[in-house]
Structure 1
Amino acid sequence: MRRATLCALLLLLVPPGASAQTLSETTNQRLERIEREIDAGRHRKQDLEKEASRLGRDLRSMKRGLVGAAAAVQRQEAVISSLEQRLGALKAQEGAKVADLAARRSTLGEMLGTLVRLRRQPPEALIASPMTPNDTVRLSVVLAALIPDIERRAAALRTELEALRRLRREMAGKRARLSHATGGLGKERRALDRLLHRVAKRHRRTVDETRRQSRRLADMAARAQDLRALVRRLEAEEKKQGSGATPFPALRFSQVEGRLPLPARGRLVGHFGEKEAVGTVKGVTIATLPFAQVVAPHDGKVVYSGPFRSYGQLLIISHGEGYHTLIAGMSRIDSVVGQWLLAGEPVGRMGRRDGGKTNLYVELRRNGEPINPLPWLAASERKVSG
């Protein structure tokens, strides 16, 4: 039937006056060529489907790698955040000790100066002084008591100086660890960026090849009616396969209440329901390190990615059951609309400090309405993450 239809169509394209034999040869040749192209297109489509299946497996493996790499980055960020906090506390202790030592030195210096001046006076000067004998005796008693006190103060000063030296050695060690951790963080971030580049490159290559094949089939369909029907069937099959292959979260979002991680390591500095100039805060704010890694808190699909009003760069992830996570404040978003994410998969990166701050804003919504995310967070995340 298909051959007969093609023959009828091709006969209409043959110029008048051609012989029956020529018509037959021309029709058969063109029909055979189109059928070969149809078969080639069908085989290429099958190859693409196999490649897509293999790519799906590779992509799942890469996504697991991305989750692991992002977790390694966040572990390093947690170490750095902890070291920076400890260094800040040590620096404050150092400042207090230096001020205390300066005060003690001043007092001790005055006492020593008085003692030295008195000791330099010869006994004759004391006899010739206008002081009464009782005053002279009292002065001798004071001097006798002053010397042990000065010795005790000097010993305490030496102890404090040694404590200050130990404190400074500890600070030097922390700074060395901080430098090492910062170098390790850079290495982990570069590895993550390379993996992200590989995933993006593989995705682009497959998309480009699929588009080329689609254009080729469309061109064939323009020359033969049954090819148009074939394309329609292929598109229907692709849609059917696409809907059947839609990934679902390993756990429903409603099952993870009290177990969610924050999208980035840092300290909670803004809380849901707090008053602000234009109303109440509808989410939480996390103070992060510069260039901190941001990850998906749970499996889901990206439904928005890009700038939005005062939010700046905004990412919205749909988790099903009417739940959405809104993440704003990133300088770079690595996810695109339609992309399916695993929990812990990297989605973006923070920027440099702006006025000493790098803040990530996070909202949790159900059926479009903001809800308090704190009850959904793991207990370890509710005060500090990292």
Structure 2
Amino acid sequence: MSFRLRLLMLSMAGLLLAATPREFTREELKALEAERDAALRQLKALEEAENTAVRSVADLESSLIAAAMESRRREEQAAASERKLIDLSVRMRAAREELIASDEHLEDIMASLAISGRHHPPALIASPHEANDAIRAAIVMGATAPVLKERTDRLTTEITELKVLESQVRREKARLETNEARLSLKKAEIEQLVATKRAQFESVSNEAELLRMRVDKIGAEAKTLRQLLVALEDSAPSAPGMKPDGRIMLAANRTSSGIRSDAPRASTAAANLAPLGQDKIGGLLRPVSGLVSRSWGQKLPDGESSKGLYIQPRPDSGVVAPVDGTIEYAGMFRTYGQLLIISTSDGYHILLSGMSRIYGTPGQTVKAGEPVGRMPNREIPPPELYLEVRKAGEPMNPARWMKGG
């Protein structure tokens, strides 16, 4: 017997009891009470399962954010090691060149001394005309000795410095390898957590696939980004539908005056999303670590002005959600390539493009700092993430929400 039918029977039984209480035997009343108790136990079990699911999603989001923070820390350490290695390599190359030059100069001096040593001093009585040459040779020998010592000392110092630099390079390479190995483990952990969250989302939403198909159709038909945003807003459902068990629980929580105040909500995640805020400094996280290659309003190669920020991270860097929101679009779109659109609870749209992979799916909620994608793993051309903020279709400068601009 279905749960809805049981609730209906209980309601009918209550009416019948109120109207004609003497028509039921004691056994029938006991049977109805047992049926009611069983229904209440099932309802409690469903409520506990829903509460557990909500806590599980919250724990999963916290784990994702923590993993993303650790991954970013490792990426920054690896980037610092790479920069230090470049600096050390330049210094080591310069030291080697200087060492070679010093060595060649020392060889010239030693060769000159060797030649001079093969000529015995002339006898001044027998060859008085060579006296001046002998005096000059003595002067040169006397002046060369300090220079030779100085060159020898400098060469010794340069050799020592070169050995120190080579040792630093080896240590820095080992540090980089360690960071890369730990980063690889953290990436694998993030991939697993993301897959778990997506599976949880799809397990409670029987419209996830329909929503993806609808978004794909909109993306294929829209010619411009503005058209895409308008189409997404016009056709956006209030929330993806729940699976049948979820609907039964909501029906059970409904009273004559509405929904029970203590009943779990299907849109708990969406209700907890923080708004971006018009002037909330720090409200927008930097989605990747890296240098801003092109800023808002800067001229682009095609002559247009930049409507967002371009950031160059390390290859294969993780991308996090800059703000709490709901994924409206995730997929290929025109010249943007892989495009992710996150809508905030107060009507802003956050656009991210340039990724090789997007983790989320339309309808899924994300928290600020949660992993949402990954950059291409290549050196040339260097990966570049594009960040744009729009409100009512109009682009706005993302730096106004970022700490430090």
- What is the TM-score normalised by the length of structure 2? 0.71
What is the match of residue 384 of structure 2? 359
**Aligned-pair CA distance for 1:145:** 0.5
* Residues in 2 aligned to 1:57 and 1:312: alpha-carbon distance in whole angstroms: 35
* Cα distance change of structure 1 residues 125 and 43 upon mapping to structure 2, 3 Å threshold: farther
Structure 1 match to 2:295: 271
Residue in structure 1 matching 2:204, options 159, 183, 206:
206
Question: Which stretch shows the higher mean deviation, 249-258 or 66-75?
Answer: 249-258
> Structure 1 residues 243 and 202, CA, compared in 2 at 3 Å: closer, same or farther?
closer
Q: Please name the residue that 1:306 is paired with.
A: 331
| Offset of residue 242 of structure 1 | 4.6
Partner of 2:168: 170
* 1:80 correspondence with 2:78: yes
Larger helix share, 1 or 2: 1
The aligned residue for residue 36 of structure 1 is none
Kindly state the Cα deviation for residue 243 of structure 1 after the two structures are TM-superposed: 6.1
Match of 1:115 in 2: 113
What is the distance in 2 between the residues matched to 1:363 and 1:120? 79
Q: CA distance change for structure 1 residues 131 and 297 in 2, over 3 Å: closer, same or farther?
A: farther
| C-alpha contact (below 8 Å) 1:300/1:342 kept by paired residues | yes
Which residue of structure 2 lines up, in the alignment, with residue 336 of structure 1? 361
Residue equivalent to 1:257: 281
Once the two structures are TM-superposed, the CA of residue 266 in structure 1 deviates from its matched residue by 1.8
Query: Partner residue of 1:191?
Result: 189
| Pairing 1:283–2:281 present | no
8 Å contact kept, 1:66–1:195 = yes
Secondary structure, counterpart of 1:260 in structure 2 = coil
CA-based RMSD of the aligned residues comes to: 3.6
* 1:85 partner SS: helix
Output the amino acid matched with 2:196.
R
Matched AA of 2:281: E
- The 1:202/1:113 distance shift into structure 2, 3 A limit, reads same
Q: Deviations over 1:210-250 (max 9, x none)?
A: 646699x9xxxxxxxxxxxx99x99x97xx95568732434
Which amino acid letter does the alignment assign opposite residue 321 of structure 2? A
Give, in whole Å, the separation in 1 of the partners of 2:275 and 2:243.
34
- Residues 1:125 and 1:45: Cα distance change in structure 2 (over 3 Å): farther
Equivalent in the alignment of 1:11: none
**CA–CA distance in 1 between the matches of 2:295 and 2:377?**
23
Partner of 1:31: none
In structure 2, distance between residues paired with 1:326 and 1:333 = 12
Instruction: Give the secondary structure class of the aligned counterpart of 2:58.
Output: helix
Give the structure 2 partner of residue 69 of structure 1.
Answer: 67
Alpha-carbon distance in structure 1 between the residues aligned to 2:267 and 2:54: 15
Whichever residue aligns with residue 287 of structure 1, its letter is Q
DSSP 3-state at the match of 1:275: coil
Structure 1, residues 140-181: CA drift from partner, whole Å, max 9, x if none?
101110121011011011101100110110111111111111
Distance 2:179 2:312 in 1: 19
Q: CA deviation at 1:198?
A: 2.2
| Distance in 2 (alpha carbons) for counterparts of 1:157 and 1:166 | 14
Segments of 4+ in structure 1 off by > 6 A? 40-46, 125-131
Tell me the CA shift for residue 186 of structure 1: 1.0
- Aligned residues of 2:389 and 2:397 also touching (Cα < 8 A): yes
Aligned match of 1:17 = none
Distance in 2, matches of 1:182 and 1:261, equals 24
Q: Relative to structure 2, which stretch is displaced further, 367-376 or 341-350?
A: 367-376
| Larger RCO (alpha carbons 8 Å, 6+ apart) | 1
Size of the alignment, in residue pairs?
Answer: 330
Change beyond 3 A, Cα 1:184–1:246: closer
Query: 2:72–2:318: 8 Å Cα contact kept in structure 1?
Result: yes
User: Which residue number corresponds to residue 54 of structure 1?
Assistant: 52
Aligned mates of 1:141, 1:154 — CA distance in 2 = 20
Quick one: distance in 2 between partners of 1:160 and 1:146? 21
Give deviations 1:274-297, integer Å, cap 9, x for gaps. 212321222222221222111011
